[in-house]
Homo-oligomer: A and B are copies of this chain.
């Protein structure tokens, strides 16, 4: 990790994210934290930004463009359906070996990666199939 020095707010934000085992938007993170402590929305954003640069928090954008933040250690990846927009978590990361190999062959020091698959989940694929046939495409 880069540095370990964190402000109290940064620590609180990170802990909250770690306890939620799912990605959160900045707004819902803020709402959630307000239930237990006093914190400003700007501080949430500032902390998320600092934690991103510390390599402790990662972000991804949903199909709709909503930005979601999660603790890096969770290291979860998703398959996201292009039709219904739902995201399905992968149960394990298929990239450990590749990351190690890349690490060895380049001067870049990797802390974490993001990986997401896009396509159609089964129900949507079936539904689209039905539509295609009824339109005789």
A residues sitting closer than 8 Å to B (CB atoms) are 2-3, 52-55, 58-61, 63, 65, 67, 79, 81-83, 88, 90, 94-95, 98-99, 101-102, 106-122, 125, 128, 137
Contact = CB atoms under 8 A, between A and B. Distances in A.
Q: What is the predominant secondary structure among interface residues of chain A facing chain B? A: mixed
B79 A110 contact: yes
A110 B102 CA distance: 24
A108 B53 CA distance: 33
A57 to B, nearest CB: 11
Nearest to A98: B94
Nearest to A88: B108
A98 B98 CA distance: 10
A115 B118 contact: no
Given A2-B82, A52-B63, A61-B60, A109 B119 contact: yes
A64 to B, nearest CB: 9
A112 B98 CA distance: 18
Contacts of A54: 82
Contacts of A106: 79
